Amino acid sequence: MAGSMPLTIALSKGRILDETLPLFAAAGIVPSEDPESSRKLVLPTSRPGVSLMIVRASDVPTYVQWGAADVGVAGKDVLLEHGGVGLYQPVDLGVARCRMSVATKRGYDWSGTVQRGARIRVATKYVKTAREHFAQKGMHVDVIGLYGSMELAPLVGLADVIVDLVSTGNTLRANDLVAVEDIAPISSRLIVNPGALKLKRTAMQPLIDALAKAARP
Ligand code: AMP
């Protein structure tokens, strides 16, 4: 499959890796050692010439966009925030599914706030996506960028609402928060550098096709 051209695949540890490795295995690509426990950032695979690069989830589109990796797997949340410039997104892998939602403290009068057109503070790590969402609704918001534990922000008065990923809803419930609005369904996508696809099509197209076949509908 790899032909003579080397192929690098950017992946991030955690949920995406757990759910994506079986799809790559179905496409005949198995890392030489467990990426979750290995300290190596570049791992050879069972397929000669194909290697995995382990990067931070939010960095995957950047590595692929600049051609440091030929393909990658990134959450739609990360792609919305990145903007997707310079990337093909040929396959929705259907893994790491969740939704991006607006959440508030239980009892917060969300519909009243929207109706009044009150200015609100939004805490999130998805600054661009949140800004665009509320601009589309015609709402005036101050977006406060955080790197983690967004759920804390409404509890301590840092923000009125948060924009975060919700899967089971357990994290919101545990912190007395409720989702009041969905922004987008989220799943992981295969992303491809267009230049690399042109140059290495014989190596890349079979991989894209095999992953499309293995993807979860
Ligand atoms: P849950 O409690 O199952 O609703 O999960 C919510 C927590 O897990 C939040 O901190 C989210 O940021 C994180 N989370 C949920 N789904 C995903 C995903 N697909 N990718 C990354 N983080 C996620």
Residue 75 beta carbon below 6 angstroms from any ligand 1 atom? yes
pLDDT tens per residue, range 177-190: 999 999 999 999 99
For atom 5 of ligand 1, the residue with the nearest CA is 167
**Pocket probe mutation, ligand 1, options 12, 170, 171, max atoms within 8 Å of Cβ:** 171
Mean pLDDT to the nearest integer, 57-76: 98
**What distance in Å separates the CA atoms of residue 144 and residue 180, rounded to the nearest whole number?**
19
Per-residue confidence (pLDDT) for residue 3, from 0 to 100:
52
- Quick one: CA dihedral 80, 176, 169, 36, positive or negative? positive
Residue 171 beta carbon below 6 angstroms from any ligand 1 atom? yes
Q: What is the pTM of this model?
A: 0.95
* Six token digits for residue 100: 């991006």
pLDDT interval class at 5 (50, 70, 90): confident
* pLDDT above 70: residue 128: yes
**Pocket probe mutation, ligand 1, options 77, 93, 98, 176, max atoms within 8 Å of Cβ:** 98
Burial level of 170, CB count in 10 A (0-12/13-18/19+)? exposed
Residue 98 beta carbon below 6 angstroms from any ligand 1 atom? yes
Mean pLDDT to the nearest integer, 106-112: 96
How far lies 15's CA from each of 18, 19, 55, 59, 65, in Å? 5, 6, 13, 15, 22
Mean pLDDT rounded to a whole number for the chain? 96
The alpha carbon of 166 and the centre of ligand 1 are apart by a number of angstroms equal to 5
Ligand 1 atom nearest residue 170's Cα: 2
For atom 18 of ligand 1, the residue with the nearest CA is 96
Q: State the pairing for strand pair 120-124/7-11.
A: unpaired
Buried b (16+ CB within 10 A) or exposed e, 42-70: ebebebeebbbbbbebbbbbbbbbeeebb
pLDDT tens per residue, range 157-214: 999 999 999 999 999 999 999 999 999 999 999 999 999 999 999 999 999 999 999 9
